[in-house]
């Protein structure tokens, strides 16, 4: 069993109850369980011998499942530690797997370097992996103290969560927590952060958790720092910007008939994916002020999932991380 399970989470020292998310985070220490695997295989429908891009390979769970269908894999992840781990996990597939450390927003560059002109499918499984969450040193954990970092790619990114928390104005922090975190207490949390940092700048995760707890208290099933941590992580890694660019880069290389699937965990991500697919699956654009409809220059996709596919109740029970997962798939047609 993973030795981390025996570490005493910092919060246990003061808190009366273990919250559901904390229990989940503890469970997650041991492994990353990929979500919606059966649905991905069915809807992505990879063809044996084709090359599928797993743009967020993480622990390699989805890659291994896709390799099981006979398709080959180009596995990308921006996190060097995930790349090390996936390399070990996927070693047994030998030359059928190519692994590269890259943000998927730069997938074009990787394709060009490898001489890849077209791909037989692509998968993006967004967010963080349990492995990233488990390592306090990465700064994603709300339970264990570590540097307030949150960079998925420490080799190429310079801005950490600490820099944001210590340098953004109160208005910028409020907007960040409100827009990316959808945190109802955004303004009050930002105000207390700004007041606190005047005498004690933030370097570690748990002092920030304490400040958030002071504002919102501890009640309900969700850890009080969830939304603020989510917002900071998304800002540090420019997750929405990367998603827009990555969708474009991957879709443009899809072969006709090949599919792209995206698993998102956040409503803003899901909206970007929904709009991206919708805007490219209309052959004609029309506006009341136009005399006639115009051909849509971006038309190249057909939406496979009219509504997002969600995990079964069984999966939600056995893999709580899957609860907010939404899978959308589209097929290249032109």
Ligand X SMILES: C[S@@+](CC[C@H](N)C(=O)[O-])C[C@H]1O[C@@H](n2cnc3c(N)ncnc32)[C@H](O)[C@@H]1O
The residue ranges that bind ligand X (CB under 6 A) are 32, 34, 56-62, 76-79, 82, 103-105, 125, 127-129, 152, 242
Beta-carbon contacts of residue 320 (< 8 Å; ≥ 6 apart): 20, 24, 27
Q: Which of residues 27 and 213 has its CB atom nearest to ligand X in the complex?
A: 27
Rounded least distance, CB 286 to ligand X, Å: 34
Q: Which of residues 99 and 225 has its CB atom nearest to ligand X in the complex?
A: 99
Rounded least distance, CB 21 to ligand X, Å: 16
Rounded least distance, CB 59 to ligand X, Å: 3
Tell which residue, 237, 241, 299, has the closest CA to residue 272: 241
| Run of H or E including 304 | none
Rounded least distance, CB 236 to ligand X, Å: 11
- What are the beta bridge partners of residue 74? 53, 98
- What are the beta bridge partners of residue 204? 147
Pairwise CA distance, residues 300 & 311, whole Å: 28
Q: Which of residues 76 and 258 has its CB atom nearest to ligand X in the complex?
A: 76
Coil, strand or helix at 6: helix
Q: Which of residues 26 and 234 has its CB atom nearest to ligand X in the complex?
A: 234
What does the CA dihedral 311, 313, 317, 323 come to, rounded to 10 degrees?
40
Rounded least distance, CB 240 to ligand X, Å: 10
Rounded least distance, CB 245 to ligand X, Å: 9
Q: Which of residues 9 and 60 has its CB atom nearest to ligand X in the complex?
A: 60
Rounded least distance, CB 301 to ligand X, Å: 21
Pairwise CA distance, residues 247 & 49, whole Å: 23
Are the beta carbons of 212 and 205 closer than 8 angstroms?
A: no
| Run of H or E including 74 | strand 72-77
Q: Which of residues 57 and 164 has its CB atom nearest to ligand X in the complex?
A: 57
Q: Which of 271-293 are b and which e, b meaning 16 or more Cβ less than 10 Å from the residue's Cβ?
A: ebbbebbeebbeeeeeeeeeeee
Q: Which of residues 75 and 162 has its CB atom nearest to ligand X in the complex?
A: 75
């Amino acid at each position: 069993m993973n030795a981390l399970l025996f570490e005493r989470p910092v919060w246990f020292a003061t808190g009366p109850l273990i919250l559901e998310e904390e229990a989940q985070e503890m469970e997650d220490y041991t492994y990353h369980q990929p979500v919606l695997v059966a649905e991905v295989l069915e809807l992505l429908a990879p063809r044996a011998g084709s090359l599928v891009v797993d743009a967020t390979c993480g622990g390699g769970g989805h890659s291994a499942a896709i390799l099981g269908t006979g398709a080959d894999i180009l596995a990308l992840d921006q996190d060097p530690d995930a790349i090390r781990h996936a390399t070990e996990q996927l070693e047994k597939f030998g030359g059928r797997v190519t692994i590269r450390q890259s943000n998927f927003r730069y997938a074009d560059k990787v394709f060009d370097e490898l001489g890849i002109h077209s791909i037989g499918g692509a998968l993006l499984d967004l967010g963080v992996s349990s492995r990233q969450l488990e390592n306090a040193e990465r700064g994603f954990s709300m339970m264990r103290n570590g540097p307030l970092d949150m960079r998925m790619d420490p080799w190429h990114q310079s801005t950490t969560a600490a820099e944001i928390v210590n340098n953004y104005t109160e208005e910028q922090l409020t907007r960040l927590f409100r827009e990316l975190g959808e945190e109802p207490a955004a303004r009050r949390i930002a105000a207390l952060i700004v007041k606190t940092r005047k005498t004690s700048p933030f370097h570690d995760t748990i002092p920030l958790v304490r400040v958030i707890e002071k504002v919102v208290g501890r009640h309900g099933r969700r850890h009080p720092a969830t939304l603020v941590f989510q917002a900071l992580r998304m800002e540090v890694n420019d997750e929405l910007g990367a998603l827009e660019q990555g969708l474009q880069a991957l879709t443009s290389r899809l072969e006709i008939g090949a599919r792209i699937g995206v698993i998102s965990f956040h409503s803003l991500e899901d909206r970007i994916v929904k709009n991206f697919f919708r805007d490219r699956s209309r052959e004609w654009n029309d506006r009341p002020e136009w005399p006639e409809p115009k051909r849509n220059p971006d038309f190249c996709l057909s939406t496979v999932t009219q509504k997002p596919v969600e995990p079964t109740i069984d999966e939600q029970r056995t893999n709580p991380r899957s609860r907010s997962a939404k899978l959308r798939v589209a097929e290249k047609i032109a």
